[in-house]
Chain A
């Protein structure tokens, strides 16, 4: 588990660097792909219900985005945490997502 979480954190940092340098430079019309959001959503959706991976990705990814955003600190973290709560605790309790979830 520690190995997986470490990889997740490293991936978030690499994506953050790419997102704030290379992708920010070449984004069409000023738009930049939010790679960290993609990692967070993917981890939450594919993870098991109450899995620590989704929560870790949401909190760490949110904090990283908060560092490199002009929004008040905590907006991204709070947003991702809300998404995790919604998908992982509410949606997966009531909706079967057989393609992603293997419980």
Chain B
């Protein structure tokens, strides 16, 4: 029954996707209109611009930390430059499944995309991975999906700036409805609010140093071996029209 349903679902996705895509794009304009109606000035565009700049700055900071660490490790190697190993394919968002943290994206024509492909935004924010390809539509399971666990690296807000002495890792677990929480961080480690989480190279989907989110509320129990924290995700579905698929070269 489930095998048949996947095939039939594929047909339905492809049939309704043009309408869904049009409504998804149109709703972006409606959102702009509604905000413009109720808020004075151009707060929205300024907010988006600042958010993009903020993400870029955060990403640059993360890159600086990663590069500093890599430089220390690879200084003696001549060809130690960061090589591009992936090509990026633009995929517009078509819709979202009902009650699930799974989105539908339209695949570019003539490109073969496999299940398990990592999905990111233009701001190098990790979005999720492809779990099913149905014709020209693919289902993307978001990091906040309750079945998704992502290895993350915690970038401490160190007063000394770029620090590579100790790598703190954990697991970002999806809770559904856009919520994420951090788990499996040893109790002895010092977690700081607003610390930035990036993907770790321990995971099998994302390369390292893609943005995931920021630590919000830290929950530390003396009886538990690990501490937890809620994560404020950098991925915002409302403001995203399209994502990028990372296919290996």
Contact = CB atoms under 8 A, between A and B. Distances in A.
- Co-assembled chains A and B: yes
Interface of A: 13, 16-22, 24-26, 29-32, 34, 65-70, 72-74
A17 B16 contact: yes
Given A25-B24, A26-B238, A67-B12, A20 B97 contact: yes
Contacts of A19: 98
11 contacts: A18-B23, A20-B96, A21-B23, A21-B94, A22-B24, A25-B27, A26-B27, A26-B31, A29-B177, A67-B13, A69-B97
Contact of B96 (A13, A21, A65, A72): A21
Interface stretch (B1-9, B185-193, B210-218): B1-9
A72 B2 contact: yes
Contacts of B19: 17
Contact of B20 (A20, A65, A74): A20
Nearest to A65: B98
Given A25-B31, A67-B13, A74-B1, 8 more contacts: A13-B16, A20-B20, A21-B21, A25-B27, A25-B238, A67-B9, A68-B97, A72-B2
Q: Is the interface of B mostly helix, strand, loop or mixed?
A: helix
Q: What 7 A-B pairs come out closest when comparing CB atoms?
A: A30-B177, A73-B5, A24-B96, A22-B27, A20-B95, A21-B23, A67-B12
Most buried by B among A18, A29, A68: A68
Contacts of B24: 21-22, 25
Contacts of A16: 16
Contact of B237 (A25, A65, A70): A25
Contacts of B102: 70
Contacts of A24: 95-98
Contacts of A18: 23
Nearest to A16: B16
Contacts of A30: 101, 144, 176-179
B99 interface: yes
A74 B4 CA distance: 12
B248 to A, nearest CB: 27
Contacts of B16: 13, 16-17, 20
B74 interface: no
B177 A31 contact: yes
